[in-house]
Amino acid sequence: MNAPASTITAAPLAIVSTAAHDREWWREEAVRTGTDWSGVVGAALKLMIAADIIEQPEPKTMTTWDGPSWRASAKDYHEQRASRRTSETRRAEAQIEARAEIPRLLVRQ
C-alpha cells in the first residue's frame, strides 16, 4: 500500500537505554569531552562576548597589599567592641545609681 504524497514516514527510533545516566557517567563524560559546568559557562560567556551581546568585564584582582590586614581588622573590631561595652557599662551603672537613689528620696520626704 502506498502512502499519500502528503504523509511522511519516519525511520524507527533505536532506544539505547531508558535509564537516566548516573553521576559517574556524567563525570566520565565531562572528563572525556573536557567540559564541566564551569567550562560550559566560560564557553557561553566567550560566545556572548564574541557576538557583542555582552561586554568583556575588566579583570578585578585584589592582592594582599590592596586589602587591610586581618590583624588591623581584628584590632578595629576589638576597639569598637570595647567602646560599645564601656558605653553600655556606663549606662547600666547610671541606671543602678538612679534606682538606688529612689529609696533615699522616699526616705527624705
Alpha helices in the chain (DSSP H): 23-33, 37-50, 70-108
Domain residues for 101?
Answer: 68-109
In a domain, 9, yes or no: no
Residue 67 has pLDDT above 80, yes or no: no
C-beta of residue 83 within 8 angstroms of C-beta of residue 90: no
Residue 4 has pLDDT above 60, yes or no: no
Pick 44 or 23 by higher pLDDT: 44
In a domain, 13, yes or no: no
User: Are residue 75 and residue 109 in the same domain, yes or no?
Assistant: yes
Reported as a pLDDT band with limits 50, 70 and 90, residue 48 is: very high
Q: Residue 51 has what pLDDT?
A: 93
Q: Which three cell numbers stand for residue 59?
A: 579583570
Reported as a pLDDT band with limits 50, 70 and 90, residue 8 is: low
Residue 60 has pLDDT above 70, yes or no: yes
